[in-house]
Structure 1
Amino acid sequence: MTATTPKTIPEYLDQLRQALAGADPALLQDALYDAEEYLRSELAAQPGVDEATLLASIATSYGAPDEVADIYRQTESTVVQALRPPPKREHRSLPGKFFGVLADPRAYTSLFYMLLSLATGTLYFTWAVTGISLSLGLAILIIGIPVAILFFASVRGISLVEGRLVEAMLGERMPRRPLYTDRDQSMMARIKTLFTDPRTWSSMIYMVMMQPLGVAYFTFATVAISLSAGVAAIPVIDLFNHHGTISIGDWYFRLPLWTLPLTIAAGVVMFVLTLHIARGIGRVHALLAKHLLVQSAA
């Protein structure tokens, strides 16, 4: 049990934050949001009960902060174990390690994320630039204030959606709940927090960065897939064309018959390399998203 029984909901959440020190920031964000939602709903359901008395009784039902922290750690471990794919067969040989990526689902989901990033990156960039432009352009008018507030709030919502995509496709644990806000603060204080929170600004930076990153990811993925498929498909193309004839502009040349199996092998190797690179890019991008979109646990 926690040494000091919290008297208010913010004190309870502070103790929960301390009890989860060192945990994944995404897990901490989810735990704080869930705890606040539960405590607020209990307080609203019992309007005649003092907040300190209610928290004392909740310690025996919902749990004290350190008990709740232990439950979240155990649940997170259980969920991770349940969602973890079956252990892959360890390949000791170099060819086995190289071609083993063909059986790794994360390589394919990372490649799909790279293809999808052109659309999401364009959407994020357009929304960020438009929102910033409107907020600055209307700043001299009264309407500029609510426009800016709505835009900054939407940035948090978009970061949550992007986090779900990153977790589903790239495998990095991301928040599943919105960012915790102290509801005991006044509306002005909460709006000020929205504007001064570094994570809001880093989320906007991420949205702007996704445009060039999305173009680069999509270009690499489409070019790599096209090249590997084109090289591997040369024998198939040969069925509908002159034997082994390849044309580049006005330049024609023929491949000997014995080289056709080699072109298939070359195309497969190129595709395997594409999967390796896509998986590596996915891991790096997941770390970037975690750093820019998730509230620090500090």
Structure 2
Amino acid sequence: MNAFDSRNEVRPGGLPTTIPEYLEHLRRSLAGADPALVQDALYDAEEYLRSELAENPGRSEAEVIVAVAGSYGAPDEVADIYRDTEVKVQTALRAPAPNPRRSWMGRFFGVIAEPRTYGALFYMLLSLAIGIFYFTWVVTGLSLSAGLAVLIIGVPFVILYFGSIRVLSLVEGRIVETMLGERMPRRPLYSSRGQPLLKRIGELFTDPRIWATQLYFLFMLPLGVAYFTIAVTCLAVSLSLIVAPVGLMLGLGSGLVFDNWYLAIDGEPWMWPIVMLAGVLLLFVTLHIARGVGYLHALLAKHMLVKTAQYD
């Protein structure tokens, strides 16, 4: 197999001669694919090629690429494998889609049978704690980084802090994918590990995705407060309306109290079914709100945490 010419360049239809060329070819072959899939594929390919290069110190990058082409595959082949595997994995992981409901009542009440509804609702309840942690981490990290930057000890601290942002980005991605169903990266960002160490460290500070991730973490506090407040308020009001008639039948209380507003229904039994029905309707509205919030937040996370640039 002779895929190279005398100038050590890529022939049309041949194999790349260096690992960066291989990765760029793979990136182009995956154009149009999910950005999270592209990030995972690039990381896996670089990891595999560099491990093979380390195990064969006497070989050049071109020779290693030729040697592994039969087992790992050429960039186009690897891209096809990742696309096919992604379809199979997503099909296996996703819950079977419910039968389409044509009536508005079916669509309204059918939300209770969709698993993603409960994942989104739980994310709304969890978002306050997550938002507090992320906000505290970023504010503390940036403050200490700015304060220690003038000291020798501050340099490794700043590097560790920015590295932790990438780690937390992966953690948040796994949470978003598990609860909200949006495909997120499962591998770290492709880092061009063949480059000098100082250049790779410099990328930590110049990578727009690092700064977008920190901005996302800061946004998570007000978003978490809003999500948690909406979820708790809607659930509390709807469940209270549902169980209120039961409590009245047991002699517990005489009406409904919402802040300073009081509604006496103990002497109006005809209102009890209406109150319960209002609670049920509000509960389903809450589930729809959770689905909507989950969908929009997943788009926000995908936009800010994943490198979305496309390559020709």
TM-score range, shorter chain: over 0.9
Match of 1:207 among 196, 202, 217: 217
Cα distance in 2 for residues equivalent to 1:69 and 1:247: 60
- 1:74 equivalent to 2:84? Answer yes
Q: Does 1:292 pair with 2:307?
A: no
Are the structure 2 counterparts of residues 243 and 56 from structure 1 closer, same or farther at C-alpha, using a change threshold of 3 Å?
A: closer
Task: Output the amino acid matched with 2:265.
Answer: R
| 1:264 maps to 2:264 | no
For residues 113-136 of structure 1, the C-alpha deviation after alignment (integer angstroms, 9 at most, x for no partner) is: 000000111000000000000011
Question: What is the alpha-carbon distance in structure 2 between the residues aligned to residue 250 and residue 130 of structure 1?
Answer: 42
Q: How many equivalent residue pairs?
A: 298
- C-alpha distance in 2 between matches for 1:112 and 1:101: 15
The letter of the residue matching 1:120 is: I
Question: SS where residue 63 of structure 1 aligns?
Answer: coil
- Counterpart CA distance in 1 for 2:131 and 2:257 is 36
1:1-298 alignment, distance < 5 Å: 3-241=13-251, 244-246=254-256, 253-255=264-266, 256-298=268-310
The letter for the 2-side match of 1:253 is A
Offset, 1:95: 1.2
Confirm or deny: 8 A CA contact 1:125 1:208 kept in the other structure: yes
State the distance in 2 between where 1:113 and 1:99 align: 21
TM norm structure 1: 0.96
The residue type paired with residue 91 of structure 2 is Q
Q: Higher mean Cα deviation, 126-135 or 254-263?
A: 254-263
On the 8 A contact 1:153/1:194 being kept in 2, the answer is yes
Distance (Å, rounded) in 2 between the aligned partners of 1:296 and 1:252: 53
Q: Which runs of 5+ in 2 are unaligned?
A: 4-11
Secondary structure of the residue that 2:264 maps to in structure 1?
strand
CA 1:100–1:251 in structure 2 vs 1: closer, same or farther (change >3 Å)?
A: closer
- Letter of the 2:294 partner, please give it: G
Give, in whole Å, the separation in 1 of the partners of 2:14 and 2:156: 41
CA distance in 1, matches of 2:263, 2:181: 46
- 2:178, 2:215 → 1: CA distance? 22
| Contact residue 177 and residue 183 of structure 2 kept, 8 A | yes
Taking the aligned partners of 2:16 and 2:230, their CA distance within structure 1 comes to: 54
Are the counterparts in 2 of residues 28 and 297 from structure 1 also a CA contact under 8 Å? no
Assess if the C-alpha contact under 8 Å between 1:22 and 1:297 holds in 2. no
Following TM superposition, the consecutive aligned residue runs of length 4 or more in structure 1 with deviations greater than 4 angstroms are 247-252
Q: Is the 8 A contact 1:13 1:32 kept in 2?
A: yes
Superposition deviation, residue 197 in structure 1 = 0.2
State the distance in 2 between where 1:105 and 1:165 align.
Answer: 15
